[in-house]
């Protein structure tokens, strides 16, 4: 199951056009649309008249009209009109708290009374002109937890991503795992190496010699329920790594938001925010294409992994020190689910 009393990325703003958007999130069929003054609203994707999908309807005067018989619902899920019918007594359908921030639309699928917009993750680079961002969306047929595991242990880069970001030094460098507040952090540093092809391209874009020796870093930061932000980059060897002068490094944040669809599928919002050459749109497009190609290599592995986990259900898996970050992240998710399911204590009832 999934934590429900928390914020997930539902979609990107450009996905909601003049038509409603249907999306399954945490097992819930949801429709998102822009109501009055362009504000995003989210309802059950269910017309209370005959059970049609509201996402197949249209937006009319800031309300959502079912495309089957014309029943109109407001942004709170209340029926407001229908041709030749009295609908004031119709029960409301469920509405969900939504917020549009930092280039994403966030949704709270749990208890609406507990939704606090202040707990939406802050993404300071999203509105900073010194940074550039490019990304996309994948619909993946595997559990979102498998993606969390993938991102919290980047050892696989040496094997899955040969020719782009992979290199032998990844597998030869120790990984460390620790907590920073509510974040699980796995870190790996590689010193005095030659950058792999992807980072050589980035170095050339920054005006650096792509054959000089560099220090490389990877810091994966998991925040529940489905965020992994990865500090990545290279700097000229011996100049301070991630803290090097900006002229001597290329620094970026790999942005990953995983939103469960079902137990075996999820929505993966990915991208890269970079702190060099922010005005170079061609570079943004090039990095987006390169990152997309890199992820396509992960896609086959993850979906096959999901298939195997189902085919070999119950098979005991090995746990190694490189798995510590994913193990801690999954433990946090398990604790959140258990806490939400917990019955009220006698003190609370009394």
pLDDT in tens, 322-332: 999 999 999 99
What region does 28 belong to: left with phi over 0, alpha with psi -120 to 50, or beta? Answer: beta
CATH homologous superfamily of 130-337: Naphthalene 1,2-dioxygenase Alpha Subunit; Chain A, domain 1 (3.90.380.10)
Place of tokens 């560099």: 214
Q: Whose CA is closest to 290, among 218, 197, 220?
A: 197
Asked whether the whole model's pTM tops 0.85, one would answer yes
CATH of domain 8-118: 2.102.10.10
Looking at residue 344, what is its pLDDT?
60
Q: Would you state the structure tokens that stand for residue 273, as one six-digit string?
A: 């925010």
Question: Mean pLDDT across the stretch 290-299?
Answer: 90
For residue 85, what pLDDT band results from cuts at 50, 70 and 90?
A: confident
Question: Mean pLDDT across the stretch 73-82?
Answer: 87
Higher pLDDT, 294 or 268: 268
In the chain, where the domains are located: 8-118, 130-337
What is the C-alpha separation between 138 and 136, in angstroms, rounded? 7
What is the C-alpha separation between 339 and 103, in angstroms, rounded? 30
Q: pLDDT over 70 for what percent of the chain?
A: 98
Looking at residue 102, what is its pLDDT?
96
Res. 87: pLDDT tops 60: yes
Looking at residue 348, what is its pLDDT?
42
Q: Do domains 8-118 and 130-337 have the same CATH topology?
A: no
Question: Mean pLDDT across the stretch 41-64?
Answer: 95
For residue 347, what pLDDT band results from cuts at 50, 70 and 90?
A: very low
């Amino acid at each position: 199951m999934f934590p429900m009393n928390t914020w997930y990325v539902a979609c990107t703003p450009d996905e909601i056009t003049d038509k409603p958007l249907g999306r399954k999130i945490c097992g819930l069929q949801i429709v998102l649309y822009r109501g009055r003054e362009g504000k995003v609203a989210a309802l059950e994707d269910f017309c209370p008249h005959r059970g049609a999908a509201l996402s197949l309807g249209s937006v009319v005067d800031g309300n959502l009209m079912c495309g089957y018989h014309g029943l109109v619902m407001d942004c709170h899920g209340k029926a407001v009109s229908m041709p030749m019918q009295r609908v004031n007594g119709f029960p409301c359908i469920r509405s969900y708290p939504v917020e549009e921030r930092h280039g994403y639309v966030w949704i709270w699928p749990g208890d609406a009374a507990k939704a606090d917009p202040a707990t939406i993750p802050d993404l300071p680079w999203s509105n900073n002109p010194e940074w550039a961002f490019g990304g996309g969306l994948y619909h993946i047929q595997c559990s979102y937890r498998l993606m969390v595991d993938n991102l919290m242990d980047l050892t696989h880069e040496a094997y899955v991503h040969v020719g782009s970001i992979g290199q032998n030094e990844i597998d030869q460098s120790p990984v460390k795992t620790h907590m920073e507040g509510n974040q699980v952090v796995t870190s790996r540093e590689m010193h005095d190496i030659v950058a792999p092809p992807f980072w050589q391209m980035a170095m050339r874009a920054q005006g650096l010699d792509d054959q000089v020796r560099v220090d490389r870093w990877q810091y994966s930061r998991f925040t529940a329920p489905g965020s992994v932000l990865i500090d990545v980059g290279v700097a000229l060897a011996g100049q301070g790594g991630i803290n090097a002068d900006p002229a001597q490094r290329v620094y970026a944040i790999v942005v990953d938001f995983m939103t469960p669809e079902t137990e075996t599928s999820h929505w993966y919002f990915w991208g890269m925010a970079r702190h060099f050459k922010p005005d170079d749109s061609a570079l943004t497009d090039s990095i987006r294409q390169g990152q997309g190609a890199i992820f396509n290599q992960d896609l086959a592995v993850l979906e096959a992994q999901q298939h195997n986990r189902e085919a070999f259900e119950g098979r005991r898996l090995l746990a190694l020190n490189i798995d510590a970050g994913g193990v801690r992240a999954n433990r946090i998710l398990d604790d959140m689910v258990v806490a939400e399911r917990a019955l009220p204590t006698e003190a609370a009832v009394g």
